[in-house]
Amino acid sequence: MNVVVVGCGRTGSALSNLLSLQGHSVVVIDTFEEHFNDLNVQFSGITILGSGTDLNTLKEANTHNADIFVATTGDDNMNLVSAQIAKKIFDVHRVLVRVENKQKIDVSRHYELEVASATNLLAEHLFEVIKTPQQIKIISSIGGIDIVRFKVPTFQAAKGLSQLIKAGSFHSYIVLTDGKAATSNLRDDIFPDSEVIGAIAEGEVGHLVRVLEY
């Protein structure tokens, strides 16, 4: 994908680094040159010193060919203006905008912009952590996948690995016994208190909880 990111602060630089590592073509715009220092050495994209609301800067960033445009600065007004320019003038199909002010969030949706609020995202993440039983730890979440780690209950171990993996809808997994990776396949037995690290679809933790309980 071709992605234009406006703002190279903590949010913009982290996003740009991730996109670049995934092989996407990334252009980052910021008004402060020192902000580009937050991009890691593996970043393979382009940096442009300028304003995300300046038409010439956006043309230089090849915004008209962007698949996604993301405005991530700490200024809601700046983000909204640059996002609307990308949507209306450069006809970018997907435009994401960081907005923290609740009233401006409503305005963003009126203009058919996809809204991300750091406050709301953090609250949602904390809520997921709180409602997830302690025996299941979400190690990481990326690209619609949750990486989870949990101990296998005694009664589930007796049923065998095959039923647990299939019922839990795992994309991939590894079994740890005494802290070491155990060679295993779907027909192998597993020991109580063995640990499983696996990848499941985002939002399926609740389903996994029910699987482990019954």
Dist. CA 154–CA 15, nearest whole Å = 41
Strands 94-98 and 68-71 turn out to be: parallel
Mean pLDDT by 10 residues, the chain (214 residues): 95 91 94 94 95 97 96 92 94 90 69 75 64 68 80 70 70 77 55 79 76 68
What architecture (CATH level 2) is domain 132-213?
A: 2-Layer Sandwich (3.30)
pLDDT of residue 169: 72
Superfamily the domain 2-119 falls into: NAD(P)-binding Rossmann-like Domain (3.40.50.720)
Q: Give the C-alpha separation, 64 to 27, whole Å.
A: 12
- Return the pLDDT at 206: 75
Q: Which two tokens stand for residue 173?
A: 């997994």
SS (H, E, C) 26-62: EEEEECCHHHHHHCCCCCCCEEEECCCCCHHHHHHCC
Residue 170 DSSP code: -
Predicted pLDDT at 13 = 92
Burial class for 207, CB neighbours closer than 10 Å (0-12, 13-18, 19+):
middle
Spell out the residues 6+ positions from residue 45 whose beta carbon is closer than 8 angstroms to its own: 16, 19, 20, 25, 26, 27, 28, 39
Q: Given this model, what pLDDT does residue 145 score? A: 83
> What pLDDT was estimated at residue 157?
66
Listed by start position, the domains of the chain span: 2-119, 132-213
pTM here is: 0.59
Q: What is the pLDDT of residue 187?
A: 44
Residue 94's pLDDT is 92
62, 55 contact by CB (below 8 A): no
Please tell me the predicted confidence (pLDDT) of residue 173: 79
